[in-house]
Amino acid sequence: MLTTENETSINEITKIKNGTIVTPAGFKAGGLHSGVKRKRKDLGIVTCDTPAKAAAVYTLNVIQAAPLKITKESLAQEGKIQAVVVNSGNANACTGKQGEDDAYTMRKVTANKFSIPEHYVAIASTGIIGLEMPMEKIISGIEQLAPEATTKSAENFNEAILTTDVVTKSTCYATMINGKKVTMAGAAKGSGMIKPNMATMLAFITTDAVIESDMLQLALKEVTDKTFNCITVDGDTSTNDMVLVLASEKANNEPLSPSHPEWNTFVELLKTTCEDLAKMIAKDGEGATKLIEVEVNGAFNDSEAVQVAKSVVGSSLVKTAVYGSDANWGRIIAAVGYSGATVHPDKIDAAIGPIQLLKNSQPVHYSEEEATEYLQTDVVKITIDLHVGSGFGKAWGCDLTYDYVRINASYRS
């Protein structure tokens, strides 16, 4: 976490049970079926009453879809966004000049629809790579979008951005900054092509905090490294990933920056929101039945702790063992060994849930029946202590099942 000399505590952060992406002041959302997909909603929008301060991070894949280029251009002008239009069912990736023209058209039509400058519009797409956009359907759909500040309209947006996801993903929290209530909410999609360093995932976060775009970018970069960059489903990294944060600045707190006495509270609010969404994405991996959380203690530093956690949670052999409820700790320690982090081979402790498996790299007697029973739960936690230093880190993923192969073998069918 970013720290300042005059900050030693974090204010209480409270989950808003029924909060949505429109709970922070100033935001509206909506979603509908435009015809890109056969039946399900496939076009969504989030708007702000005024140009919102904005920040974004993108996939590390060097091949990036046209919507990312256009959104980067929009943000580069003033660091403000007032409308985000998102389609699912077609990624508009690897579509050449036509794809760029289509993304620009989406931006222009949205800007005209809501009477805002084009560079106040962000574009995001997700779905099949390499297909031209059905622009007549997209344009008609944009013209029909009517965002509202209601729970139903937020749910429509959440549904419209899904691809192979089984469930929608949203969360909302609030805290006090300068005696003012500051709210933050998020919605996301992601199920396959998920790897640390982003994934086939889109996340949209709204807040009413007062903060400049560059400060928002600073916080987002740090938080992304600890949340979205710590999830994996299948080891693939997509062409379309984006996390976009919008701040309406309607909470009336003093502008936030690292010198603000409650800066760490804001960073923790953002981290909590992003971690929720990241874990939901990991749990909803294609064909998944279990969320896997790997916690690493005693690493050389925090970076190496995360490195080890990613290695373990990304191991296909670990993932299949968890699916089979098999406490095969050999797969865990092997993933630790090839992680590239500093490791003393004779000092490693490992546990699955409450069940100790290794102590100083030596097997510990445990009940196979108890281990199997624990591994049949929805959330499986693997804890590792390297006894090298004080580094700490986490990563999240899911089990690897027969259904993952079935879903991806027929993705275009």
* Cβ-contact 79, 34 below 8 angstroms: no
Q: What is the pLDDT of residue 85?
A: 98
CA-to-CA distance for 403 and 140, rounded, in angstroms? 35
Per-residue confidence (pLDDT) for residue 399, from 0 to 100: 85
Encoded tokens for 103: 């993304």
- In whole angstroms, what is the distance from residue 29 CA to residue 351 CA? 44
**Helical axes 66-78 vs 96-114, angle rounded to 10°:** 50
pLDDT in tens, the chain (413 residues): 333 333 457 999 999 999 999 999 999 999 999 999 999 999 999 999 999 999 999 887 777 889 999 999 999 999 999 999 999 999 998 899 999 999 999 999 999 999 999 999 999 999 888 889 999 999 999 999 999 999 999 999 999 999 878 889 999 999 999 999 999 999 999 764 444 343 458 999 999 999 999 999 999 999 998 898 888 755 556 678 889 999 999 999 999 999 999 999 999 999 999 999 999 988 876 667 889 999 999 999 999 999 999 999 989 899 999 999 999 999 999 999 999 999 999 999 999 999 999 999 999 999 999 999 999 999 999 999 999 999 999 999 888 887 777 766 765 54
Kindly state the DSSP code that residue 254 receives in the 8-state scheme: P
Contact of 201 with 281, CB cutoff 8 Å = yes
Q: How far apart are CA 217 and CA 25, in angstroms?
A: 20
Residue 9 burial by Cβ neighbours in a 10 Å radius (0-12, 13-18, 19+): exposed
Is residue 387 within 8 Å of residue 347, measured between CB atoms?
yes
Cβ atoms within 10 Å of 79's Cβ, excluding its own: 18
Give bridge partners of residue 380 from the DSSP assignment: 292
CB-CB contact of 366 with 353 (8 Å): no
Q: What is the pLDDT of residue 7?
A: 43
pLDDT at 2: 38
Tokens 């064909």 sit on residue: 287
Start-end of H helices in 7-85: 66-78
What does the radius of gyration of the chain's CA atoms come to, in whole angstroms? 22
Q: Cα–Cα distance between 87 and 93 in angstroms, integer? A: 13
In the chain, where does the domain assigned CATH 3.60.70.12 lie? 14-283
- Domain formed by 291-409, architecture: Roll (3.10)
Distances (CA, A) of 352 to 96, 230, 294, 367, 382: 47, 19, 9, 12, 5
Pick the CATH number of 14-283 from 3.30.1330.80, 3.40.50.1000, 3.60.21.10, 3.60.70.12: 3.60.70.12
Per DSSP, 256 falls in state: B
pLDDT at 362: 94
Q: Tokens 């192979």 correspond to what residue? A: 164
Q: Which of 201, 374, 198, 353 is nearest to 284 (CA)?
A: 201
Q: Is 200 a catalytic residue?
A: yes
Centre a 10 Å sphere on the Cβ of residue 336 and count the other Cβ atoms it contains.
24
CA triple 153-164-313, angle to 5 deg: 115
pLDDT at position 170 is 97
What per-residue confidence (pLDDT) applies to 46?
98
Measured distance CA(408)–CA(402) in Å, rounded: 10
Q: One of 20, 95, 200, 237 is an active-site residue; which one?
A: 200
Contact 355, 374 (CB under 8 A): yes
- For residues 202 and 186, the answer to whether their CB atoms sit within 8 Å is no
